[in-house]
Structure 1
């Protein structure tokens, strides 16, 4: 369904009536792009104004109850712990598409989530979301002279194996937070370096997804370089997509966009640290993690998690994986809505 200006108008009238502090936290959400953000919640609820209104109110209450507006002044300390989180929760920003959308890279297969408590991983994920929405997107919108409110994500499946079974609960928590509180923030997902185990899981998960969700993700051949270069410059390719390059300029040292030393993570960490220090403290003291309430996953998400878990158990029983999947030709198909 296309954009309905009438639905947005009706939704805006309802939202204009909300009380403080919900109105204040919503300003943090829309960053001046009110109608574009109302449209996100409408899309997530198939343009049903009543359902979108309920969804947005629940999101705003979640933000207030969990003090999400202040999460960008809550650094993960000490730095060694933040480094451990970055080494085990592989996510980064590699650049921008030709249309100006931020390109986020996610190491699905090699993320282990085994060096900190679940609360630190959730805190880190929400901080990246908030930095994207409150700093990066407003900046790139201003630079391009038009609203840019979404990003693209490149999901690297390198190393995906049966041990992923132990990560399903945490990934489900993070995905649910995104589904309910950051809906429609990802324009397209690109899956690269996909092994056979991904193909098998995808076949059983795909029928469970809504068409709107399925159409978002493209499963690319191999590292996906050739396809991704159609929408972004070489310098914006995630490091895991740069295999097989030729030419002297392509032999320069490739920066791992997951690393804490990557400019994106340095800028994010310095931003959070600065906002902590402006509260009057010179150096972040050791603190507990920023605990966030975990929303109950929707029925679709629960069913997907159970299906993936069942499929992985089948592989576990068969003791091994068949031949790699990424030798296949590119197929433009689709994965999950928001997250990991």
Structure 2
């Protein structure tokens, strides 16, 4: 057990007073004025142990410096057709906000193929969405609601989940490791919807491996989860695959404004225009480098490796038992 939260925060504050440049500047990009809330996120991720949380945060800040994460929002994925291909195969988008003001991100786990670009583009895209959420969206909604809002909600659509998910486990483990080590405790709740039998089979063996704080955040909803999600958000904020019972997620819908995955959706238009504008402002200082923005991939924690291996084993068992 760590120190009580008040003592732990004070201890953590004292450790962070020793921070020098350029770590101090990148830390400002992380906390966005919400220092206490940020320290608490890292403390939660390390069971309220200030020393371990301090090391985690220092590792995060050094990772940001070494990989120029502070500048990633000025590094567009170009040309636009390539970015559209990334969006069509890495299904994620902002569908709206909960009644408490938390951004609602929809993620098409089952139908994401990650097969239209190199792994570096998908990692770049993922980190850009994280940074845009933390440095643009969350400060904006915090100002609107008059209080710090530092987390989001994620709705995970399992429609289309197949054995081919085996091909994606390595990339998904990389992305999960980046989030766990550098964006801890940014998701308030994960809602799983449209879960097929193959998910249920994996969930039974994975659930016991998860930390208690992670299990508490993850809720598997029946069907498309519409009724349950309507208790925390308005209909207009529901992801398109939750709009009506029996609906199914797709990469393209006739109404582009409904499908928050597509580049035509207002969220992705605003994000892409923001990144292009930031690039234009930096162009006078340094030319835009073509190609993907390479980020060092962290070694996944042992627990995540174990979870990935368990999922892979369960999918193979499912494959063999069904004669696929």
TM-score bucket of the superposed structures, by smaller chain: over 0.9
Q: 1:290 aligns with which of 286, 289, 293?
A: 293
| Contact 2:223 2:245 (8 Å CA) reproduced | no
| Contact 1:40 1:184 (8 Å CA) reproduced | yes
| Contact 2:114 2:122 (8 Å CA) reproduced | yes
After TM superposition, the structure 1 = structure 2 runs for residues 147-162 of structure 1, keeping only pairs within 5 Å, are 147-162=148-163
Residue 209 of structure 2 is aligned to residue 169 of structure 1: no
SS in 1 for 2:96: strand
> For residues 159 and 289 of structure 2, what CA distance do their matches in structure 1 show?
34
SS in 2 for 1:218: strand
Structure 2's unaligned 5+ residue stretches are 247-254
> For residues 316 and 61 of structure 2, what CA distance do their matches in structure 1 show?
38
> For residues 193 and 71 of structure 1, what CA distance do their matches in structure 2 show?
34
> For residues 111 and 203 of structure 1, what CA distance do their matches in structure 2 show?
23
> For residues 47 and 2 of structure 1, what CA distance do their matches in structure 2 show?
6
| Contact 2:256 2:264 (8 Å CA) reproduced | no
- CA positional deviation for 1:188: 0.2
Alignment-derived partner of residue 308 in structure 1: 311
| Contact 1:191 1:217 (8 Å CA) reproduced | yes
- CA positional deviation for 1:18: 1.1
More relative contact order in 1 or in 2 (CA 8 Å, sep 6+)? 1
Task: Indicate how the Cα distance of structure 1 residues 128 and 3 shifts in structure 2: closer, same or farther if over 3 A, else same.
Answer: farther
What CA deviation, in whole Å up to 9, does each residue of 1:128-153 have, x standing for no partner? Answer: 00000000000000000000000000
- CA positional deviation for 1:34: 0.4
What CA deviation, in whole Å up to 9, does each residue of 1:232-273 have, x standing for no partner? Answer: 00000000001249xxxxxx8861010100000000000000
> For residues 115 and 41 of structure 1, what CA distance do their matches in structure 2 show?
34
Task: Indicate how the Cα distance of structure 1 residues 134 and 52 shifts in structure 2: closer, same or farther if over 3 A, else same.
Answer: same
Task: Indicate how the Cα distance of structure 1 residues 2 and 217 shifts in structure 2: closer, same or farther if over 3 A, else same.
Answer: farther
* Structure-2-length-normalised TM-score: 0.94
Alignment-derived partner of residue 89 in structure 1: 90
- CA positional deviation for 1:320: 6.0
> For residues 75 and 17 of structure 2, what CA distance do their matches in structure 1 show?
30
Residue 192 of structure 2 is aligned to residue 191 of structure 1: yes
| Contact 1:165 1:312 (8 Å CA) reproduced | yes
> For residues 178 and 82 of structure 1, what CA distance do their matches in structure 2 show?
22
- CA positional deviation for 1:278: 0.9
Task: Indicate how the Cα distance of structure 1 residues 203 and 288 shifts in structure 2: closer, same or farther if over 3 A, else same.
Answer: same
Residue 264 of structure 2 is aligned to residue 255 of structure 1: no
Show structure 1 runs of 4+ deviating over 3 A.
none
- CA positional deviation for 1:2: 11
Alignment-derived partner of residue 103 in structure 1: 104
> For residues 162 and 73 of structure 1, what CA distance do their matches in structure 2 show?
37
The alignment's C-alpha RMSD in Å is: 1.9
SS in 1 for 2:282: coil
* Structure-1-length-normalised TM-score: 0.89
Mean CA deviation greater in 190-199 or 5-14: 5-14
Alignment-derived partner of residue 280 in structure 1: 283
Structure 1's unaligned 5+ residue stretches are 246-251, 322-340
- CA positional deviation for 1:319: 3.3
Residue 43 of structure 2 is aligned to residue 42 of structure 1: yes
- CA positional deviation for 1:285: 6.1
| Contact 1:239 1:254 (8 Å CA) reproduced | no
- CA positional deviation for 1:312: 0.6
